[in-house]
Structure 1
Amino acid sequence: MKVNRNTTSLVLVLVCLQVITLFAQSDVISQVKETIKAGSAKELSKYLNQTVDVTIDDKMQPYSKAQAEFIFRDFFRQHPANEFNIIHQGSSKGGQPFAIGQYKSGAETYRVFMKIKTVGNQQLVHEISFVKE
């Protein structure tokens, strides 16, 4: 009986950890979604890794967190958001969370892709792209 209780306890703990991880991923993605919707580069930078790969219109560059904030400030100024929605989110086979969204500005529509990475005990955006559809 002790083996069954220990096994049941272990399974329960693992399930709880998985649920907590999924909520943390969803929380970061929803927070990033709101900052992009608001066009706030300053708020978005709070969720960026110290270095982040940024792609805008098929031009990928690695930037520091501070540099990326300036890039997004310019992008949001030139392309203010009318609408931003997350279309799909999930995890890669290796467990890395990601999200795909659609950003609309005037007559332009951009596909947004972001990868989330765990750094210490935080979930941070490691890669983000805005590619015109």
Structure 2
Amino acid sequence: MKRNLLHALAIIWLVLLSATVHAQGEGFTPVRNAIRGGSSKELAQYFGSTVELSFDGDKQSYSATQAEFVMKDFFAKNSPAGFDFVHYGGSTEGTPYAVGKYVSKSGAYRMFVKMKSAQGNLVIDTIDFTKE
């Protein structure tokens, strides 16, 4: 009896855990699609009023409009050959983030995207590219 109860609790815990991970990933789906398509215009729809962009440690804050142009330039020089998020997580404060792998003809990048809540919506706060 105890063993069956433990198995049932373990199954319930795994179902809840997978639902949480799936829910975290859903918020990043349109962001993933924009990055896969190399569309700075589509990606900019999810920018906050300011966005921190980092390329190999060179960090700068931009307005949403400026960040769109910076990403347009990046995609032009490094058009996507493949992209996917490989890990989703959240800080203790509930700030969601995702880690992905961006592949272009000129090389591969580890990509970190952090979201934040603004006026009840999740928006992109930070994008960090690190060449592998």
> Residue by residue, what CA displacement relative to the aligned partner does 1:16-58 show, whole Å, maximum 9, x if unpaired?
xxx79x73x4333111000000000000000010001100121
1:41 is matched with which residue?
40
> Residue by residue, what CA displacement relative to the aligned partner does 1:86-119 show, whole Å, maximum 9, x if unpaired?
0100111111100000000015010100111010
| Number of residue pairs aligned between Structure 1 and Structure 2 | 113
Q: How does 1:25-36 map to 2 (within 5 A)?
A: 25-36=24-35
What TM-score, normalized to structure 1? Answer: 0.80
Name the stretch that deviates more: 75-84 or 88-97: 88-97
Percentage identity across aligned positions? 36
Q: How does 1:1-133 map to 2 (within 5 A)?
A: 23=23, 25-133=24-132
Q: Which amino acid aligns with 1:50?
A: S
Which secondary structure state, in structure 1, belongs to the residue aligned with residue 94 of structure 2? coil
Gaps of 5+ in 1: 1-18
Q: Which amino acid aligns with 1:101?
A: G
